[in-house]
Structures are given as C-alpha cells and as structure tokens.
Structure 1
Amino acid sequence: MIMITAQPEQVGSPLLNFAVFGGFVAVTLFLVYRVSSRNASTADYYAAGSAFTGRKNGVAITGDYLSAASFLGIAGAIAVHGYDGFLYSIGFLVAWLVALLLVAEAVRNTGRFTMGDVLAYRMRQRPVRAAAATSTLVISFFYMVAQMAGAGGLIALLLNVHGKGGQAVVICVVGLIMIFYVLVGGMKGTTWVQIIKAALLVMCVVLMTVFLLGKFGFSVTSLLDEAAAHNKNGQRVLEPGAQYGKSATSQLDFISLSLALILGAAGLPHVLMRFYTVPNARQARRSVVWAIGCMGVFYLATLVIGYGASALVGSDRILASTGKENSAAPLLAFEIGGTLLLGIVAAVAFATIVAVVAGLTLTASASFAHDVFNNIFRDGKAEPATEVRVARMTAVVIGVLAMVGGILANGQNVAFLVALAFAFAASANLSTLLYSLFWKRFNTRGTLWGMYGGLASCLLLVSFSPVVSGAPTSIFSGSDFHLFPLTNPGIVSIPVSFLAGYLGTVLSREKADPARQKEMAVRALTGIGSGH
C-alpha cells in the first residue's frame, strides 16, 4: 500500500486545486462587493435588512452549519468506524428539531441582532449582555480556531504544502479572505457566500453518491460488503460498537457527545443570528425546515461516501495518509474522478472553511459592538454608523486572533474544539434561552449563574480530561493530569447549567418584572412589536 506522504503527487494536481479554489474566491469576492452597497445601518450590516426569504436563509443556515468537520470528518469517521461514525450525522441533524420546536420562532420575534437581545429583554441589561457577549466570543473563538487549524491540515493533503510555514501562510490567506467578506459584505455578503457554498457542497456529495451507487449496480448490499472487506474492523463496521462499544466509559462518552451535539445547535450564536435575517417568524420556521431538508440530503450522502471510501480506498490507506480520517473524501474523489474531481472537492472544502469562519466572525463582532460597546458603554445610544465601524474593527481583531490560534493549533488534535463549542453552547446558552422564554420567574441572577456556571464547568472538565492530557491523542500527550474520564463534558456541564440557573433564580430575592415578562411572552408567540 502506497502512503500518501511518500507519494504526494498521487493525490492530484496542486495547481488545479489552487485554480478551482481561486475561481471560487474570485466569484464570491465579486458577489460580496456587488451586494455591499447598503451596509450603513446596523440592521443592514447585522441582519441584511431582514430581507431574505425562509428558503434562502435555510440554505444559508446549511452553509453556516456544515463545517469542514461535517464534510470531511464525518465521511472519514464512517469510512474508518462505520456505523458509529454515522451517529455523528444523526446527532447533528436531530439537533435541528430542538431549534425548530423551541427556539427559532421565539428568538426571531424577541431579539433584533444578537442572542444578548433575547436574554437581556426582561433582565438587567449590563450584566446579562456582558455574559452573553462573553459566551458568544468564547464559543465563536473555539469554533474558529478549529476551522482555521483544519485549513492547515487540509492544505497538506490537497495542495501538497507540507511545511508548517507553508500551512501557516495558507491559514493567513484564508483568514484575510474571510475578513474581507465580513468587512465589505456584512451579513448580506456573508449570507450569499454561504448559499453558494451550501449549493456546491450538497451538489458535490449528491453527484459522488450517485456515481458510487452506480459503480456497485445501485446495490447498497454490494457497497457495504465491499466496505467491510477493505476495512480493518471487518464486519464490525456494519454494526454498532466499533468505536464507542469498547467499554462502559466509551459508551458514556458517546452519550455525553450526543447530548452536546443535539442540544448545542440551538445555542450556537452564529446559528441564532441567522434567524434575524428573515422578515417574520413564519419565514424563520421555513428556514429551519429548509435547513433540515438540505442537511438530511447531505448526511445521507455522507453515509454512502463514507462506506464508499472504505470500499474503494480502504481504511489502511486512509489512516496512512497525511490527513488521516479527514482525507477519506478527497482520496475517494481522486479514486473515482481523478484530478479534476479532487480539485472540485478541494475548492468545496476550502469554501466550507471560509464561509463558516466568516459567519462566526460576523457573529462575534456583532455581539461585541452591539451588546458591549453600544448597550454597556454607550447605554444603547451609539450612532448606527459608529456601531458598525466598531463591529468592523472587532472583526479584524477577531480574524487576526483566529489566524494566530489556528497556526498554534495546527497539527494538534483540534477535533475536540468543535465538540467543545457545541458543549459550551448547550451548557451556557440553551438553558438560559429556554428559561428566559418559558419561565416567568427567571431573573438576572439565574441568567448569570446559568451562563457562567455552564461556561466554567465546561472549561474545567475539559482542562482535566483526556483531551488535554493522559492519552496518545491528547494535546499534551507526554503528561497526565486528567481527572475527568470523558472527552466531552456535556453529560455533566449541561445539567450543571440548568441547575445553576434554577438555583440562582430561586435563591435570589430579585423579583421578575411581570409587565416585561408578559410583553416578552406576547412578542415571542406573535411577533407583535418585534420592530423588524
């Protein structure tokens, strides 16, 4: 078996990959420039004037949500671990039912630009907005570092850039493109980038799926048998337990990860912010329905692509390549479509990273400018043009920090950062959002205890978990100071957040404002007075 690191030229033409990716960047940069004519007001810059339909916003949500971890990571997990890898797809997809049934409509009706608008509606503004901004910045930063570091890892396989210096340069290029999208295009430009990226991604995986099924006579049985024959786990890849069934701890770890994935999506700040780009609650619901449809097609396709990679490439070759599991989809593309298809997959992978990071950057900068600068420092009286200018400056700072973080994390185990972002979102944001929307007695202290309790417990548990030390895949693999046995803290930190929010409320003498509570309930249910 030829290792990809020994024969890097066998995974395609770096020149063609650069050309296809460059074409995508050129087209999207032109589009962002064309749609950026009206970005003077905060409504235009943060929410694109709430002018997108539910269908367009649903496709954009798909583009925002399907990160490099979804496209490359899940296909690789299925190729190597089979059934257990597909459980990631189920978790990511089922998560949208929580958003659809509990969050989407109420958030659209209650807030204006950020999650802090919802949480601070009937609470004391300053402390709650500060907590919401802290949570948003922490989650966005972890998510962004994972994406930027993922860019460095992809470069090694797709563009044949193997030195740390070369990968650092590409991370900086991706970061600069993303900053341009956000500075010039705002939410409108970023949304169109995400729509194009989602369409390319879904089209790419569907075509690969049809080709693979055709290669095996449209017989799923033949595909699965061939996948098992070329996988180191044999028939076990067709059954539960190849990855998470080895011990009681690994089974508990999977439950914890599932909780974080399913509950985290409804608390991701960059996903919540997308609901403000539609004109009303009905379109917000339509957005989620369209997103579920697009993602359902995508995740079903990854099942075929994952097993197809196992059948045609083989798990040994995948694990021996530069990108390990992440290389499954590119290697399969090269196997079935040669250099051209690999170039297209490379472009889609890069588009995925750039679009997701742009959405995260916009969300983080909006949270700082709107929640911290305007509502804390200026008591909500800042001029719209000044607030937009602060948001743009913040985007540059965040973009540079993400580039530095991505370069530092490049080559390390960064997969946990995405799961950690979901765990943070589920722990800090979901409990406080649900309490704010549906519990009359919930107050400021409960909000602060819930958010900071979730953030702190999540960070503490991860710091002393096998993710950081005590395992061959740890960040500090040579040390062992882990005390918590699970790699994902969700099973502990999510209940801690709900409990902290409850205790903070019932132990506080602060009384909720009944008038504001009733007004929020009416707005959440009807949209009357939402001001969009």
Structure 2
Amino acid sequence: MENGFAIAGDYMSAASFLGISGLIALYGYDGLLYSVGFLVAWLVVLFLVAELVRNCGRFTLADVVAARMRERPVRIAAGTSSVTVSVLYLVAQMVGAGSLVALLLGGTSEAAQAWTVIGVGALMVIYVTWGGMRATTWIQIVKAVLLMGGAITLTVLVLIRFHGDFDRLLRTAADRSGHGASFLAPGLKYGGDWTARLDFISLGLALVLGTAGLPHILSRFYTVPTARAARRSVVWSIGLIGGFYLMTIVLGFGAAAIVGPDAVRGSNAAGNTAVPLLALDLGGGADSTGGTVLFAIVAAVAFATILAVVAGITLASSASVAHDLYASLRRKRPEPRSEVAGPRSEVPEPRSEVAEPRSEMADPRSEVAVARVAAVGIGAVAITLGLLARDLNVAFLVGLAFAVAASANLPVLLYTLFWRGFTTRGAVWAVYGGLIPAVALVLLSPVASGSPDALFPHLDFQYFPLQNPGLVSIPLGFLAGWLGTVTSAEEPDRARHAETEVRSLTGAGAA
C-alpha cells in the first residue's frame, strides 16, 4: 500500500492537477483525452511490465536489458534515454511551479516565474542529494494524501454549487465557453484538418504507451520485496490515480462553468491556473477570507505536488547517470563472455549478472558521489528549459516526455522481456531509433518554432506538422529494434535469455 501511494505520488504531477483541469476548462471534451490516456496506460504497466521488471531489475531500466545483453553499449543507450525523458518531465514541473507562484504574487510576472523555476530546481536538487530514495518515497506518500484530499474537497464543493446535478454543470460550462454544444463534443482542439486529427492519435499513443517507459515509475518496482508486492502496488496506484482523474473532469468543467475560460486564459494562456482560480471562487471570491484560505491550501498542495515529482524524477535520472553511464564508461576491460558461453543447468546466485559487472566498473561510494553531481547537472538543464517553456501547458509538456519514453524505452523493454532472439545491436538500435527521431521531431515541430506559443516564437524552423511525435517515433523505435536484431551477426545468448525468462516469470534469483 505504501508503495502504491508512492507510485501515485510520483505519477500525479502538476500535469495532472494543473494541466489537465486547465485543458478541460479551455477545450472541454478534447481535454478529457489526457485523463483517459494517463489512466489507461496503467493497464499496460500492470499486465506487461510491473512483475517482470521487478524480477529482472535492480536499480534502473538498463539492469533489465543488460541481464541478457552485452552491458556497456546497452547501459549507455538506456541511460541516455532515461536522462532525456527525465529532463523533459522535469521541465513540465518547473513550468507548473512558475505559473502557480506568478499567480500567488498577483500577476503573470516573468521575473516571478523565472525565479520560481530556479528556486524549485535548486530546492529539490538539495533534497535529493541528501535524502535519497527513502526521503523521496515518503514525500511522495505525503503528497499523494494531500493531493487526494485537496481534489476531493474541491470536487465536493463544485458539485454542491450545482446541487449534485452534473448535467447542469456541463450545460453551464458549455454556455460560458462561448462554443456552445461543441464544447462538449470532440474536435474543439483536435478537430478540423487531418493534421489535428493525426495529432490526436499521436498524443493518445504517447499517453497510453509512455507510462511503461518512464524511468521514475519503473524504479518504484525495485523498492518492493516481491513480484506480488509490485502487482499489488500497481493495483493500489490504479485505484488512487483512477479516482483522481475522475475528479479532474469535475474540476475542469467546474472551472469552465464557474470561473470561465476567458478568466482562465487571462491568468495563464495555457490554462495552468484554472484549479487555483476555481478554489478562490468556491471559497467566496478574491476578497473573502474563505476564498483566500482555500486558494492558499490548493496552491500549497499543488506546490507540494510539484516538489515531490521533481524529487522523484531527479533521483531516478541521477541514479541512471551514476549506475549506467558513469559505471559503463569507467569499465577498463572487455566484458567477460565466458561466464555465459554455455548452457546453465540451474538458476544462478541472486542477481549475479547484474551485481558482478557493477563491482568491476565502480564502487558504490563513487556511484553515490556521481549521482549527487548528476542531480545538480540535470537540475540545471531542466531549469534552463523550464525558463524557455514557461508559456506552454504542463500536461502538454508531459505528453512530449511520454512520447519519448514510449519511443525509446518501451520497445527495448518489451523486446528484452518477450523476444528470445533479441540481440545487443537490436537493443541499442531500438533505444536510439526511437529516441533520436522523437527528440528531432519535437525540435522541428510547432512546439519549438513557427508559432506565438513556441519555445522560440521569433524563429521558424518548423518542418514537422504534428505537435506530438509519437505517431511516427514509436513505430520507428520498434522497427529499429527489429531491424538491428535481424541484421546482427551476433548469436543470441540462449542460456542468458533462459535465465532471464525464468527469473522474470518466477522471481527465482531476484531476492
């Protein structure tokens, strides 16, 4: 149960609390895609990866792949993709923090947003550096409880305002939106031409498949003692997350009906401040004590949400740098292949294929030191990008991180777990074959340039029409993994795969 709350805390980020509600308030039905996609994604995690990843891994995603591959190239590739996904996810949290504090300070001051982004990043780097996994786990649990409490309170108040009549809530939201009945129908944001419709499909694929490739979510499965506990953790988290996303629907339409889309846009063009404005109105208005108190509580919960998620992602990404990139690059001699040359008659000592190479590459103390330095570096990169992206919706930014995770991490993970003939070249190609196109397409999309809301609004190097690259980059990741395997001269290590298969399915040797 504790780990389920911690997973839910890791997952329910600023994108969930601030971003989704804001998108629903601005675009109605089309904003629901985020709520549905984020929740359905957990079925993929539950049925395909949770138990198997727990049995095969130790610290990071690369441990799972390296269990049956040549370690150095696989760890470098997986570590690179994990850090990239983590940085993109961190950017969304930084943007959410900037929007929230700018609202608290009574305006949309760019200076306030910038200093908030810097402050949040610095605070969490210090926290992760000295607190580690135990501290991060408990901040996730506390944050999940606070977030659920805040969401329940606001949902009840919205329903009381409309006397429990959800139909009346929807009709009022549609009337105030200025779009009428089309506010409650598909197509307001993702309708019209084929580019918008393809963007809709691309975003849906990214949201549903991306969760299974998020490094900070996968690392949560290594903190439980058994595979059964991993499954139960996911069941707990699905219950919590499912209830929360149902409430975001009420909050989004409540903000549209009570605050109004124009007021939401006036505060923040991307809709990131819809929920705090809703709390202010539900409490009695800007000049009332109740409104001020409720606004302050919701803002505090949202800020705690951002801090907790930043802590979890920073921890996972810095661990990947230390355990995968640093340890692999320090290796001074070729990896011994004699250990796995012949068939094995029994299950080896627990986690020997993971633990032994690790001791050759770097000792635990040096890895901890590198992880602390990496936390600072990753925080600095996320702060810089957060300053550039402060005008974008946080749920939309998380959608980009999900697309990269689904393109680079999910193909190699599924191939490793389920394809007997998968090779090291296939693993490396799967990671880079999804990662490079996903990042490149984002840079060439309307997100980076060519529009007033882009990262670089005064430049125009837009050549890819879709805002989310998932529709193209996810299939490319799977295709690259298959192509790398079938063109590889390397003979798959059947003994090592058999060992991984037994371990993943039974948990033997995974203690």
Q: Same fold (TM over 0.5)?
A: yes
Q: Is the 8 A contact 1:413 1:475 kept in 2?
A: no
Alpha-carbon separation, structure 2, partners of 1:450 and 1:522: 24
Distance 1:404-1:248 versus aligned 2 partners, 3 A rule? closer
Contact preservation (8 Å) 2:388, 2:455: no
Q: Does 1:377 align with 2:377?
A: no
Write out aligned runs for 1:312-351 (5 A). Answer: 312-322=258-268, 324-337=270-283, 338-351=291-304
- Is residue 130 from structure 1 mapped to residue 76 from structure 2 by the alignment? yes
> Which of 239, 244, 251 matches 1:305?
251
Cross-structure match for 1:515: 495
How far did 1:404 drift?
A: 3.1
Q: Match for 1:362 among 315, 333, 342?
A: 315
Residues 470 and 389 of structure 1, relative CA distance in 2, 3 Å threshold:
closer
What amino acid is aligned across from residue 310 of structure 2 in structure 1?
Answer: V
Task: Please tell me whether the aligned partners of residues 68 and 150 of structure 1 are also in contact (alpha carbons under 8 angstroms).
Answer: yes
| Equivalent pairs, count | 477
Cα distance, 1:415 vs. partner? Answer: 5.8
Contact 1:156–1:323 (8 Å) recurs in 2: no
CA separation in 1, counterparts of 2:323 and 2:441? 31
CA distance in 1, matches of 2:260, 2:485: 55
User: Where do 5+ consecutive residues of structure 1 fail to align?
Assistant: 1-54
Q: Which residue of 2 aligns with 1:526?
A: 506
Is contact 2:211–2:217 with CA below 8 Å preserved after alignment?
yes
Match among 217, 224, 232 for residue 170 of structure 2: 224
Q: Report the Cα distance in structure 2 between the residues aligned to 1:201 and 1:61, rounded to whole angstroms.
A: 13
Q: Which of these residues, 467, 477, 482, is aligned with residue 497 of structure 1?
A: 477
Alpha carbons 1:260, 1:490 under 8 Å: kept: yes
Residue 473 of structure 1 aligns to a residue whose secondary structure is coil
CA displacement at 1:87 relative to structure 2: 1.4
What residue identity is the alignment partner of 1:521?
E
State the TM-score, normalizing by the size of structure 1: 0.87
Deviations 1:91-145 (A, max 9, x none): 0000000000000000000010000100111111100000011001111111112
TM-superposed CA distance for 1:269, in Å, is 0.6
Residue 7 of structure 1 corresponds to none
Note if 1:237 corresponds to 2:170. no
Mapped pair 1:476 → 2:456: yes
- Aligned to 2:272, the other structure's residue is in SS state helix
Contact 2:99 2:390 in 1 (8 A): yes
Residue aligning to 1:282: 228
Residues in 1 aligned to 2:440 and 2:270: alpha-carbon distance in whole angstroms: 29
Counterpart check, 1:437 vs 2:417 = yes
CA distance in 1, matches of 2:31, 2:392: 21
Q: Which moved more, 1:79-88 or 1:144-153?
A: 144-153
Secondary structure (helix, strand or coil) at the match of 1:325 reads coil
Shift of 1:355: 0.8
Deviation at 1:507, TM superposition (A): 0.8
**Match in the other structure for 1:115:** 61
Which position in structure 1 is the counterpart of 2:127? 181
| SS of equivalent to 1:203 | helix
Structure-2 change in CA distance of 1:299 and 1:233 (3 Å): same
- Classify 1:485/1:516 alpha carbon distance in 2 versus 1 (closer, same or farther; 3 Å): same
Q: Which runs of 5+ in 2 are unaligned?
A: 284-290, 332-356
Separation in structure 2 between the aligned mates of residue 268 and residue 198 of structure 1, nearest angstrom: 19
Mapped partners of 1:176, 1:504: distance in 2:
41
Task: Please report how far the alpha carbon of residue 315 of structure 1 lies from its aligned counterpart in structure 2 after TM superposition.
Answer: 1.3
Amino acid at match of 2:192: K
TM-score w.r.t. the length of structure 2 is 0.90
Following the alignment from structure 1 to structure 2, what is the Cα–Cα distance between the partners of residues 220 and 411?
Answer: 32
Shift of 1:245: 1.6
- The answer (yes or no) to whether the contact 2:18–2:96 under 8 Å persists in 1 is no
Q: Does 1:272 align with 2:272?
A: no
- 1:397 Cα offset (Å): 2.5
Aligned counterparts of 1:179 and 1:465: Cα–Cα separation in 2: 31
CA RMSD of aligned residues (A): 1.6
Could you list the per-position Cα deviations for residues 176-206 of structure 1 after superposition, in whole angstroms to 9, with x for gaps in the alignment?
A: 3212321222111001101111111111111
> What amino acid is aligned across from residue 315 of structure 2 in structure 1?
L
| 2:384 is the alignment partner of 1:404 | yes
